[in-house]
Amino acid sequence: MTSLLGIALLAVALSGPTVAFVPVGGGASTHVTITGTALLQKVTETCRAVAVAGGYEFEPTGTSPEELVQACLGPTAVGEVSGAKFYSALQQVYTQNGLVDRDFVASDRHHFNSETFFEGRGLITEGVMAIKANIRQENFQAAREILGKVLHTLQDFYSHSNWVELGNTEPYINLIRPDLPLDNLADVNTPTCSDCASGTCPNQILPNILKEKKLTSGYMGIFSPFKPKGKCSHGGAGDLTSTSDPRGGINKDERRPDNMALHDAAVKAATAASLELLQDIRLTAGDNDFLRMMGIARSSVVCFVIDTTGSMSDDIDEARSVVYEIIDSKKGTQDEPSEYILVPFNDPDFGPMIRTIDPDEMKKQISKLRAKGGGDAPEMCLSGLQLALTGAPDSSHIFVFTDATAKDIALKDTIIALIRSTKSKVSFFMTASSKRRRRSVASASFNDYKDLAVASGGQAIQVSKNQLPQATDVILDTSTSALVTVLQRARSPGKPETFTFLLDESLNNITLYITGTSISFTLTNPSGVSQNSNEANGKLGTIQSVGNLRRIRLNHDKQAGTWKININSNQPYTIKVTGQSTITFIYDFVESFGGPHPGYAVLNGRPQAGQPAKLMLSMMGRKGPSSMTVGDVGLVLVSGPEAITGGTKTDMGNGNILVNVDSVPEGEFVLTLTGTDKVSNSQFQRQSTTQMSVSKVHVQAVVASSVEPGKPFKLPFSVMTKGSSGQYAINARNDRDFPMDYPKSLTVTSGQYTNATLTITPPANTQSGTDVTLTIEAKSSSNTDSNYAVLRMSVVTKITDFVQPLCEVVSVIDDNCPDDLSQCGTFTWELSANLTDGNGTGIETISLHQGNGTLLHTLLSTPIVNANYNASCCSQVVEFVAVDKVGNVGKCYHSIVRSGSPALTLSLPLWLCILISAFMARP
């Protein structure tokens, strides 16, 4: 069964790339371009509103996402801002949008196929409610992922139904308004299409369907040609129903000569519908949280995981003083952190995770930390780290302070899976405890922390407690909005070696870090000037040495070009070269998938061994993707030898580059690339920091819906190996400690999927909008190979309230306002409205969206809320919005703009009006 399907899908995929309403493609409109257009427009609108409210100008220097971010962050834009976060957020939405065509290819409701209008709307409703609940809990990633999926279904309506054939040019608002009916649907016994022998006919919808404006959609059969009598098909090679009478199909996925007008109308309506859905979310979330969801925030995040056992009081003091220093020194700059995360751990307790955007709250929380309890025993370090990795935005820098080994070392594989999936960097400050009995193995056991640091591209810094204050500059270095890595390598065992790296014009504050013991080095610039490790203040920069760390800050007049560093050591060491620059990139390992709408999906887990690795890469610079060219892209082993396995590049449009690497190196590798910045016409080099390696094992799982509190949720998953058959140990963990049930071991036959089910049950009192990150690992019994899947789920209370708050304008007093607007300044008008939420959950907020007047309202807890608005006659429009407790949005709108040309209307003779209406009445 599986292999048959595989072949069928492959055949379809090979039959030629499709171009529209497909996940990605060249040129024409795709789900990505429709989604992208809507997101950029809504973000721009929101940025403008925030700027107006903040009293500053919103003037992007161009239309690229990076320029939009820079302008949106406003006058704090002292210093450079990287567009990476915004790009990643967009990419996440696009990816999840595209995945609907892989993971739910045969589910009619996900595509509004086969007249599943109620079911499709149900998915949209459930999704929108989950998005709103997640934003409320600041789970922006979960919100973005659901947003991508919901937009896909919404957009498909316009391609797969006859909405545009019916002459509609506007979106069908009822799809995002569950309180409105879905009327006039063609029932299952009503034929809807005429036969089309050629498969592509301009209009197959039956005339009476068009006349009666009945809504229908094409039937889709991936496995079976069956469809009810007389029904339209979806059409296309993947649809088996398209060859049964009536043949053909009504999908507008692709733009063909026979359907150009309909395709264009569908794209237009789908874009407008996406905008409406985004506006609904924006009104519920508020402008600031909407922008945060979209990754428009200063990119630096402070994330500390702190051991609070008895011997840690010096370390806690130091962590506190670093936090204070970051907060106080970066305030008002682009480097000011946008979020603070703090996770304490002890023994046996850890957490809770404290997450805030308020610097004063962070100061308060970190001031409350006290060292207490814990004995000689190791502590729950990795449990704390797990919370930080799942709670912090992707690509965060996480700093762990501890003086003991981890008791929960069994979590190590889970942590590595989370590091690979989030691309966050974890650095450890390991201080030897003087008060504790010296454990003979103490230093050796820190090796687990060193492994995690290297795997993530972070550092494992080992210092004494009194040296700690000299080592924490590393944290300040990362607290910037535009940090990039030029080079990073690890050697274990160490050997003398020379590393070269390219520094470009755009780089500022270039810093080299070397960790290791018994090390000496020589740094050489492009013109041959050298500095030795024993020269603390040399010609090239300043060298700071503390514990196992050397930090080299290059002088500001650094030279662009190829630099060299020769490291001399026989002990394990790491080297890293970083700087600040807006030239950066994001990437994901992807796999292609077939089906009626083929595309690329971000890999969940490690890439498959024995086949080419594929990466999707986006470059960003100061002026968008068009201002850069990418040169060589390849994979390189972190632990040597220094050989880059090059990849071939394919431009996928929208700044996406597909990289194909045929023979993937054996071992842990990173991505390295070079390119040219057209703005400064200079060459640059960058690399990724998260280590990756291939695996013969594959763990597959898809979360199909949100989870309800108190209800067991069944998650099917399957494990496959291209390696040897045998027993595979299954290990699943979630960051909320929700009870789970799953087989601890599976028998896997080489080349075949073994299916199993995991049941997770969030407690009944789980708050709606809680997200859970679940990691499922499968490991061969010989321990030689393993892989994982990281899944995010949302716990959402089933919503029954779809009632929007209602607004009734009770009175408007605008008689004062003069017709001549130049005299409006001294006059005012006012409006009074009654707001109710029927038997819904009740109004939670009322906010002003348009108008420069004053809005006051009575207590929200009363059944009827009275709102009063007064404003200058110059401000002629008011719009305010009431949001109920589950996020339904109701609007009040009123305009006192007098009719544009009143004179004309009044001067039309009465007889002419009568004549006109008589003509109009004629059939």
The residue among 251 and 604 lying less far from ligand NAG, judged by its C-beta, is 604
One-character DSSP codes across 745-770: EEEE-TTS-EEEEEEE---TTPPTTE
C-alpha 343: how far from chain center: 23
Q: In angstroms, what is the minimal distance from the CB of 599 to ligand NAG?
A: 18
Options 121-129, 203-211, 736-744, 863-871: segment touching ligand NAG (CB under 6 A): 863-871
- 555 makes contact with ligand NAG (CB under 6 A): no
User: Which residue has tokens 């979330």?
Assistant: 285
Options 213-221, 241-249, 565-573, 862-870: segment touching ligand NAG (CB under 6 A): 862-870
Q: Are strands 460-464 and 425-432 parallel, antiparallel or unpaired?
A: parallel
- 850 makes contact with ligand NAG (CB under 6 A): yes
Q: How far apart are CA 313 and CA 501, in angstroms?
A: 40
The residue among 612 and 838 lying less far from ligand NAG, judged by its C-beta, is 838
DSSP structural state of residue 625: G
The residue among 134 and 584 lying less far from ligand NAG, judged by its C-beta, is 584
The residue among 464 and 870 lying less far from ligand NAG, judged by its C-beta, is 870
288, 292, 298, 300 alpha-carbon torsion, rounded to 10°: 130
102 touches 752 (CB < 8 A): no
Of the residues 321, 508, 522, 555, which one makes contact with ligand NAG according to CB under 6 A: 508
Number of residues engaging ligand NAG in binding (CB under 6 A)? 26
Q: How far apart are CA 383 and CA 732, in angstroms?
A: 14
Phi and psi of 804, rounded to 5°? -80, 145
DSSP structural state of residue 140: H
The residue among 388 and 484 lying less far from ligand NAG, judged by its C-beta, is 484
The residue among 245 and 830 lying less far from ligand NAG, judged by its C-beta, is 830
- 700 makes contact with ligand NAG (CB under 6 A): yes
Options 295-303, 435-443, 681-689, 871-879: segment touching ligand NAG (CB under 6 A): 871-879
- 783 makes contact with ligand NAG (CB under 6 A): no
Q: Kindly state the helix (H) or strand (E) to which residue 152 belongs, with its residue range.
A: helix 140-160
- 244 makes contact with ligand NAG (CB under 6 A): no
Q: Which residues pair with 354 in a beta bridge?
A: 342
Q: Kindly state the helix (H) or strand (E) to which residue 132 belongs, with its residue range.
A: helix 117-136
- 356 makes contact with ligand NAG (CB under 6 A): no
878: helix, coil or strand?
strand
Restricted to residues 180-209, the positions that interact with ligand NAG (CB under 6 A) are: none
Q: How many CA atoms lie within 13 A of 555 on its CB side?
A: 13
The residue among 278 and 824 lying less far from ligand NAG, judged by its C-beta, is 824
- 762 makes contact with ligand NAG (CB under 6 A): no
Nearest to 662 by CA among 594, 610, 605: 610
Q: Is 205 left (phi over 0), alpha (psi -120 to 50) or beta?
A: beta
Of the residues 612, 857, 875, 896, which one makes contact with ligand NAG according to CB under 6 A: 875
- 568 makes contact with ligand NAG (CB under 6 A): no
Q: Which residues pair with 402 in a beta bridge?
A: 430
The residue among 669 and 713 lying less far from ligand NAG, judged by its C-beta, is 713
- 866 makes contact with ligand NAG (CB under 6 A): yes
- 752 makes contact with ligand NAG (CB under 6 A): no
Of the residues 870, 885, 891, 896, which one makes contact with ligand NAG according to CB under 6 A: 870
Q: In angstroms, what is the minimal distance from the CB of 507 to ligand NAG?
A: 9
One-character DSSP codes across 290-358: HHHHTT-S-S-EEEEEEE-SGGGHHHHHHHHHHHHHHHHHHTTSTTS-SEEEEEEE-SS-B-PPEEES-
Q: In angstroms, what is the minimal distance from the CB of 831 to ligand NAG?
A: 11
Q: How many CA atoms lie within 13 A of 792 on its CB side?
A: 22
- 877 makes contact with ligand NAG (CB under 6 A): yes
Restricted to residues 787-826, the positions that interact with ligand NAG (CB under 6 A) are: 808, 810
Restricted to residues 39-78, the positions that interact with ligand NAG (CB under 6 A) are: none
Q: In angstroms, what is the minimal distance from the CB of 578 to ligand NAG?
A: 12
DSSP structural state of residue 861: T
Of the residues 224, 783, 839, 901, which one makes contact with ligand NAG according to CB under 6 A: 839
Options 384-392, 512-520, 687-695, 849-857: segment touching ligand NAG (CB under 6 A): 849-857
The residue among 48 and 412 lying less far from ligand NAG, judged by its C-beta, is 48
808 touches 833 (CB < 8 A): yes
- 338 makes contact with ligand NAG (CB under 6 A): no
- 470 makes contact with ligand NAG (CB under 6 A): no
- 313 makes contact with ligand NAG (CB under 6 A): no
One-character DSSP codes across 357-417: S-HHHHHHHHHH-------SS-B-HHHHHHHHHHHSPTT-EEEEEESS-BTTGGGHHHHHH
Q: In angstroms, what is the minimal distance from the CB of 876 to ligand NAG?
A: 6
How many CB atoms lie under 10 A from the CB of residue 581? 25
Q: In angstroms, what is the minimal distance from the CB of 817 to ligand NAG?
A: 12
- 841 makes contact with ligand NAG (CB under 6 A): no
Q: In angstroms, what is the minimal distance from the CB of 753 to ligand NAG?
A: 4
Q: How far apart are CA 430 and CA 462, in angstroms?
A: 5
Of the residues 854, 905, 915, 916, which one makes contact with ligand NAG according to CB under 6 A: 854
Polymer length in residues for the chain: 923
793 touches 703 (CB < 8 A): yes
The residue among 123 and 483 lying less far from ligand NAG, judged by its C-beta, is 483
- 542 makes contact with ligand NAG (CB under 6 A): no
The residue among 389 and 803 lying less far from ligand NAG, judged by its C-beta, is 803
446's CB contacts (< 8 A; 6+ apart) are 405, 428, 430, 460, 462
867 touches 859 (CB < 8 A): no
Q: In angstroms, what is the minimal distance from the CB of 566 to ligand NAG?
A: 26
The residue among 328 and 376 lying less far from ligand NAG, judged by its C-beta, is 328
414 touches 775 (CB < 8 A): yes
Q: In angstroms, what is the minimal distance from the CB of 852 to ligand NAG?
A: 4
Q: In angstroms, what is the minimal distance from the CB of 456 to ligand NAG?
A: 23
Options 134-142, 663-671, 738-746, 868-876: segment touching ligand NAG (CB under 6 A): 868-876
The pattern of x and - marking residues 819 through 838 that bind ligand NAG according to CB under 6 A reads ---------x-----x---x
The residue among 78 and 377 lying less far from ligand NAG, judged by its C-beta, is 78
Q: Per the omega criterion (within 30 degrees of 0), is the bond before 337 cis?
A: no
66 touches 83 (CB < 8 A): yes
- 218 makes contact with ligand NAG (CB under 6 A): no
Q: How far is CA 141 from CA 293, 461, 791, 792, in A?
A: 7, 31, 12, 9
521: helix, coil or strand?
strand
Q: In angstroms, what is the minimal distance from the CB of 871 to ligand NAG?
A: 6
Site residues for ligand NAG per CB under 6 A: 1-2, 79, 508-509, 580, 700, 718, 753, 755, 808, 810, 828, 834, 838-839, 850-852, 854, 864, 866, 870, 872, 875, 877
